[in-house]
Structure 1
Amino acid sequence: MATQSEIQPVAGKTWIGHPRGLFLLFFVEMWERFSFYGMRALLIFYLTQHFLFSDRDAAHSYGAYMSLIYISPLMGGYLADRYLGQRKAVLFGGVVIAIGHIILGLEAEDGASSMGLGLFWLGLATVIVGTGFLKASVSALVGQLYPRDDIRRDPAYTIFYMGINVGATLGPVICGYLGQRWGWHWGFGAASVGMIAGVIGFVLCRPLLQGGGEPPDPQRLAERIGGVISREWLVYLSSLLSILLCWLLIQQHVVVGWMLAGASMLMVVYILWEAFGRMERIGRDRMLAALFLLVVNPLFWGLYEQTGSSLSLFTHRYADRHILGFDVPASMFQSVNAAYILIFGPVIAALWIALAKRGWEPSTPAKFGMALALVGAGFLVLVAGTGAPGTLTPVLFIFLLYLCHTLGELCLSPVGLSAMSRLAPSRMIGLMMGIWFLAMALGQYAAGMIAAATGGEDGAASRDGVLAVYGQIGWWSIGIGIVVMAIAPLVKRLMHDDQFSGEEGAQAQAQRDSFAIVDDKGEGQK
């Protein structure tokens, strides 16, 4: 029997030269990101204003939730590859996400009630499990629409990632406005409507997938275990039971932190053991270069992801949000990053290609250093733009901070997974991809810890306290970024790029990076 990966896509009708199934997946992912970022825009405000969490406790909960979001695709992707196939995984994940947002919309009258808070944790846990299935599989479905040697594959991912950022732009605007102006249940409800729309579209337009994403072994999937339940439904039920585990972990952020730390240490030890115990010099050097990039990864995301926590609270309390006669809710500002990616992504892509043609393109480790310097510069711009006590920070400096952070993201995110796939031996590519997402999860947890530090000793953030933390992390980030750029030539030599290809290969790599540059925080890269 041919495996799913061996089945060639079937020719069918196209739109602008691409299979129509691509635009179905564009639609699904757009609505999934709409719901995710729309909910995330409200999360920190819901915790502090509805449940009356201190800034510190809210930041810890936010960090634990985001960490689990980034870990869940590892298990969801495994179950999709081994049992369900990507189509069933996307459908199941979308339904579970929609249920999670509906639960979040069941706003309790008494924000402090244990039942209301329990429902809230349950909603988040449900979204985590659903995201694990959908995010791990929807990008894989894009690739299955094209033969491996089809020159349309890279442009297809660019179109797909545009859907990601369109959804990430619209979600905070619509859900954020409804949630902070009309009521929390309106905002969370809008997020659920978006995901429901994606699920309905996916079900109705299934033929557009041209048979892609089906289970690798349908007969085995339909087998009954113990004569009672099919293997497929066993996967579904066990996955739903894992919601209870996520429900517990979100409330125990310290446990999540220790789990991430332990897993990270094990991965470092394993990489070193592989490098020095099983590889020749070139392979060992490349693994050490990959380890260096993996260490930089959580440093960047720990700072960058202040967007959804401490930076949102700062914007709400201390920024002048009066624009064109309208008092803009702080949650809506979380759309700025995705909008900047849509605007500047093609510009940076063209820049890398132009520099590569002249042999001037920065190396991958140098881009990582630039990313750290830019994210640090963003915080310093905000600090510099904040006036005397009692005055509001001009909104211009919020936009400038997001611009610096977005440019930093465009230096790091699109090339990260590409570097992992190039540096790892073929037998370890999947593992290295998983380790990359583990590092991102560690960064999300670190973001919660940094945001908690802005809360001060009593857990409540003051303007001066937040600015002091921002100033410190800004200078440290720039300093570390400069160090990374200084040692980038050494790390580049460890990568042995000359063994891959010459100048033409370097230009081709810049082209591949440019096609992925509108990706969303490293999620679902090809």
Structure 2
Amino acid sequence: MTEVKHSHPRGLYVLFMAEMWERFSYYGMRALLVLYCAKQLFAHMDNPDSEAVAVYGSYTALVYLTPLIGGLIADRILGFRKAVILGGILMSIGHFVMAFEQEQVFYLALAFIIVGNGFFKPNISSIVGRLYDEGDARRDAGFTIFYMGINLGAFLAPLICGYVGEQIGWHYGFGLAGIGMVLGLLQFIYGRKHLKERAEPPDADALKHQVLPGVNKEWAVYIGSFLAVFVFWQLVQLHTFVTYMLGTIAALSVLLVAGYGISKCERIESHRLFVALVLIIFSVPFWAFFEQAGSSMNLFTDEFVNRVMFNFEIPASVFQSVNSLFILLYAIPFSMLWIWLAERDKEPSTPFKFGLGIAQVGLGFVCLWYGATTAKDGGQVAMVWLILGYMFHTTGELCVSPVGLSMVTKLSPQRITGLMMGMWFLFTAFANNLAGIIAKFTTGGEAAEAGSGVMAYGSVFGTVAGLAFGFGFFVLVIAPLLKKGMHGIN
């Protein structure tokens, strides 16, 4: 029987609070983004919903693309602590710039958040992995607790920022999200002593080397980061180009990691790296389906779900809190379940958890599809079907996301952990872009092919459910083979 420690490092709770406030800022803005674009920014266009989901898809894709670069820079140059602080500063600027109402300023704000997230998101997750020694059975539980911090912020944000944004003014909601980001950054700076030197630069002396007259390597990174903002200012407006760019980068990254595993790793290390690569690839369908929440499901809720309760119509953006509420309810039970099973050597393997997660997101879309069919004659969808859909998405998420983050830190060679964490987010970026493409089938000409009104959504949701079941079943079938390649790491 495996001996398992139950207490966690104090640094975990520092990271919990910092990530909670950062996620408050991100999800506060996310809850409002597609609705703001559809109802105000693009309201003058012929099909504002279609343009809104395109911007949402490009933005969320780029948000998850930049961690590939930010993780690599932290691994090789800056260290995790400095990278997180840089990312927090850039994101704070972006959220406050978003409070100003002008289209190009809006895109500039998104660019600041995109670049800042690249430094913040992968590296704070990597620090969580560094708090645990190899083989520590608490790691999955630790990531689940960390994931609760993410979702506490994500739960509060739509309730506060969403309500203020829809009922008082869009930019007041965006401004509140900026305050959350500043609080997250201050929390991290204040509690950095509890990280026990596990987030420092790989070579502190190298940061002082001059790369340009009067500019050392550390400041070159900072200056380059601000210059990158102007590149992403343009990219977030180029939806088709982003699609092709992400596909190319994803393919090249697979070849890069595969080549590294073959040429630079020992046999067992190589097998583990390839299992991580396979699971990262299979995270794509999960996130492409799951991330309908902020786009097609958000618009579906606004247009077709009966949101009246006790004679009060709940703003559509507030329903973005439902997923996070279920996370808060289920995260500790899931964490305890994994530890209880680990103590008895019966914990499911990471690949098996992935298969279960993908299948459960399919169940969620079955609920949404059925709700749409009950309202096809002009009625509204009962709120219960939306809530049930979010519930199954949540149980699937708990089998994939915290477990996936933990999997990357366990199976990747330590010298490229940041890069692999960045790759996890790169493929999440590819999935988010794919999510935007899927969402467009509920709008415009694509919707006309599926039907009209609510069934434009229902048809798409039914197709997504079938695909999710197919992917989930396939991963479950190959799970024993992948487990063997992990060589004792569960």
TM-score range relative to shorter protein: 0.7 to 0.9
Structure 2 runs not aligned, ≥5 long: 1-6
Question: Aligned in 2, Cα 1:141/1:303: closer, same or farther, shift over 3 Å?
Answer: closer
For residues 155 and 476 of structure 1, what CA distance do their matches in structure 2 show?
30
Aligned residue in 1 for 2:434: 446
What pairs up with 1:413-452 in 2 under 5 angstroms?
413-423=401-411, 430-452=418-440
For residues 138 and 364 of structure 1, what CA distance do their matches in structure 2 show?
22
For residues 449 and 393 of structure 1, what CA distance do their matches in structure 2 show?
24
How far has the Cα of 1:269 moved from its partner?
3.7
Say whether residues 1:261 and 2:255 are aligned partners. no
For residues 453 and 196 of structure 2, what CA distance do their matches in structure 1 show?
56
Question: Aligned in 2, Cα 1:155/1:384: closer, same or farther, shift over 3 Å?
Answer: closer
Identity of aligned residues (%): 44
Give per-residue Cα distances to partners, 1:483-514, cap 9 Å, x unaligned. Answer: 33234334444x2x5x42xxxx7xxx4xxxxx
Aligned residue in 1 for 2:3: none
How far has the Cα of 1:82 moved from its partner?
3.6
Contact map agreement 1:30 1:168 (CA 8 A) in 2: yes
SS at structure 2 position matched to 1:457: helix
For residues 184 and 253 of structure 2, what CA distance do their matches in structure 1 show?
36
Contact map agreement 1:43 1:62 (CA 8 A) in 2: yes
Question: Aligned in 2, Cα 1:272/1:131: closer, same or farther, shift over 3 Å?
Answer: closer
SS at structure 1 position matched to 2:445: coil
Contact map agreement 1:55 1:459 (CA 8 A) in 2: no
Contact map agreement 1:371 1:408 (CA 8 A) in 2: yes
How far has the Cα of 1:210 moved from its partner?
6.1
For residues 191 and 58 of structure 2, what CA distance do their matches in structure 1 show?
36
SS at structure 1 position matched to 2:155: helix
Question: Aligned in 2, Cα 1:151/1:324: closer, same or farther, shift over 3 Å?
Answer: same
Give per-residue Cα distances to partners, 1:22-73, cap 9 Å, x unaligned. Answer: 5443332211110001000011011101112622222221111111111212
Say whether residues 1:31 and 2:21 are aligned partners. yes
Aligned residue in 2 for 1:385: 371
Say whether residues 1:465 and 2:448 are aligned partners. no
Say whether residues 1:489 and 2:458 are aligned partners. no
Aligned residue in 1 for 2:4: none
For residues 403 and 102 of structure 1, what CA distance do their matches in structure 2 show?
33
How far has the Cα of 1:168 moved from its partner?
1.1
For residues 464 and 230 of structure 1, what CA distance do their matches in structure 2 show?
58
Q: Which amino acid aligns with 2:392?
A: C
For residues 148 and 273 of structure 1, what CA distance do their matches in structure 2 show?
25
For residues 206 and 431 of structure 1, what CA distance do their matches in structure 2 show?
22
Contact map agreement 2:140 2:406 (CA 8 A) in 1: no
SS at structure 2 position matched to 1:393: coil
Question: Aligned in 2, Cα 1:232/1:459: closer, same or farther, shift over 3 Å?
Answer: farther
Say whether residues 1:411 and 2:399 are aligned partners. yes
How far has the Cα of 1:291 moved from its partner?
4.4
Aligned residue in 2 for 1:363: 349
Q: Which amino acid aligns with 2:19?
A: E
For residues 122 and 202 of structure 2, what CA distance do their matches in structure 1 show?
16
SS at structure 2 position matched to 1:312: helix
Aligned residue in 2 for 1:48: 38
How far has the Cα of 1:92 moved from its partner?
2.4
For residues 410 and 137 of structure 2, what CA distance do their matches in structure 1 show?
20
For residues 391 and 482 of structure 2, what CA distance do their matches in structure 1 show?
28
Q: Which amino acid aligns with 1:233?
A: W
How far has the Cα of 1:356 moved from its partner?
5.1
For residues 94 and 405 of structure 1, what CA distance do their matches in structure 2 show?
29
> Larger C-alpha radius of gyration, 1 or 2?
1
How many residues align? The count is 475
How far has the Cα of 1:166 moved from its partner?
1.1
For residues 470 and 134 of structure 1, what CA distance do their matches in structure 2 show?
33
How far has the Cα of 1:192 moved from its partner?
0.9
